[in-house]
């Protein structure tokens, strides 16, 4: 279980990025976080990952308070960030040094099979397409079997077809051990496709505006009435989350806030 307890972050100079964010993610739950620029989504992921420290509040996985990077938490970035001097197999096995050789090989082979890259063990990152490289990055993050996996817009630079394919591969890997996933995204359709719950953030400072539960089994049909209705509900919530910011910016003749 991942618990965010009144999480707040104020940077030097008084810039308040997050204010009193409390959120509990159940084991195996997939939660997507959406919101406008300045709502602290990336700051929140850094705090959960132990890459930064909160000004107030805490992050805990089960009974462990997170104050530094922890093997229980994995992180996938916007770019694959594969090590170019290592093969695909060695990139995936990079965080498995504590396991014996046979177990490392088994986990690498299983991960590659789940993302449709059987036989790619000895290839180099430079030989992969963008979508293939991100599949390897997903495999690398899930191979150590973390309890929590954080995803910071990992599909944002990909075309729609590749992105949809990677959603399937991510869910296939997740299905094996069902870690808790916290996904930051600007893509509302992606949120509805993947998540059990969508958290809409409000900016300046970042705080939770509302939460929207998503029922139904996966895969979900993006053309179904329920899917379209959920997209509309989230878009309406996003618009509402920015209403106060837009009003304040109009008074100061600043550009209007946007969530995309």
Q: Mind spelling out the 3-state secondary structure of the chain?
A: CEEEEEEEEECCCCCEEEEEEEEEECCCCEEEEEECCCCCHHHHHHHHHCCCCCCEEEEEECCEECCCCCCCEEEECCCCCCCCCCCHHHHHHHHCCCCCHHHHHHHHHHHHHHCCCCCCCCCCHHHCCHHHHHHHHHHHHHCCCCCEEEEECCCCCCCHHHHHHHHHHHHHHHHHHCCEEEEECCCHHHHHHHCCEEEEEECCCEEEEEEEECCCCCCCCCCCHHHHHHHHHHHHHHHHHCHHHHHHHHHCCCCCCCCC
pLDDT, residue 252, reads: 54
| Of residues 243 and 226, more confidently modeled | 226
Residue 206: strand pairing partners: 18
Distance CA 163, CA 100 (A): 34
Tell me the pLDDT tens digit for each residue of 202-242.
Answer: 998 999 999 999 988 888 899 999 999 999 999 999 999 88
Mean pLDDT lowest among 78-92, 204-218, 240-254: 240-254
Distance CA 24, CA 29 (A): 10
pLDDT, residue 4, reads: 96
Q: Span 185-197, mean pLDDT?
A: 94
Distance CA 41, CA 47 (A): 10
Q: What is the average pLDDT score of the chain?
A: 89
CB proximity list for 200: less than 8 A, separation 6 or greater: 34, 35, 208, 209, 210, 211, 212, 234, 237, 238, 241
CB 166 within 8 A of CB 134: yes
Q: Span 115-122, mean pLDDT?
A: 91
Distance CA 22, CA 4 (A): 5
Mean pLDDT lowest among 40-54, 95-109, 161-175: 161-175
CA 71 remoteness from chain centre? 17
Tell me the pLDDT tens digit for each residue of 126-163.
Answer: 999 988 998 899 889 888 999 999 999 888 877 888 88
pLDDT, residue 12, reads: 87
Distance CA 31, CA 225 (A): 22
| pLDDT band for position 260 (cuts 50, 70, 90) | low
| pLDDT band for position 36 (cuts 50, 70, 90) | confident
pLDDT, residue 250, reads: 63
Highest mean pLDDT, choosing among 190-199, 218-227, 244-253: 190-199
pLDDT, residue 14, reads: 86
pLDDT, residue 88, reads: 96
CB 51 within 8 A of CB 5: no
> So where are the chain's domains?
2-33+41-179+193-200
- C-alpha angle 87-90-94 in degrees, rounded to nearest 5: 140
Mean pLDDT lowest among 2-6, 45-49, 205-209, 251-255: 251-255
pLDDT, residue 57, reads: 95
Burial class (CB in 10 A: 0-12, 13-18, 19+), 234: buried
* Fold classification of 2-33+41-179+193-200 (topology level): Rossmann fold (3.40.50)
């Amino acid at each position: 279980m991942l618990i965010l307890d009144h999480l707040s972050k104020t940077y030097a100079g008084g810039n308040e990025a997050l204010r009193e964010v409390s959120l509990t993610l159940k084991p195996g739950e997939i939660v997507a976080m959406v919101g406008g620029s300045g709502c602290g989504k990336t700051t929140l992921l850094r705090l959960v990952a132990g890459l930064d420290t909160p000004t107030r509040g805490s992050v805990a996985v089960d009974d462990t308070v997170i104050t530094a990077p922890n093997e229980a938490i994995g992180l996938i970035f916007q770019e694959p960030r594969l090590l170019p001097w290592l093969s695909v197999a060695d990139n995936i096995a990079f965080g498995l040094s504590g396991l014996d050789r046979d177990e490392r090989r088994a986990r690498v082979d299983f991960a590659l099979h789940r993302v449709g890259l059987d036989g790619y063990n000895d290839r180099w990152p430079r030989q992969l397409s963008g979508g293939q490289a991100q599949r390897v990055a997903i495999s690398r993050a899930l191979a150590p079997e973390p309890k929590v996996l954080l995803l910071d817009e990992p599909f944002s630079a990909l075309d729609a077809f590749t992105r949809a394919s990677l959603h399937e591969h991510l869910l296939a890997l997740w299905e094996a051990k069902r870690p808790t996933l916290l996904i930051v995204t600007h893509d509302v359709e992606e949120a509805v496709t993947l998540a059990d719950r969508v958290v809409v953030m409000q900016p300046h400072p970042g705080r939770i505006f509302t939460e929207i539960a998503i029922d139904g089994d996966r895969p979900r049909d993006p053309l179904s009435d329920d899917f379209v209705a959920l997209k509309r509900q989230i878009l309406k919530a996003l618009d509402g989350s920015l209403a106060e910011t837009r009003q304040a910016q109009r008074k100061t003749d600043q550009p209007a806030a946007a969530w995309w």
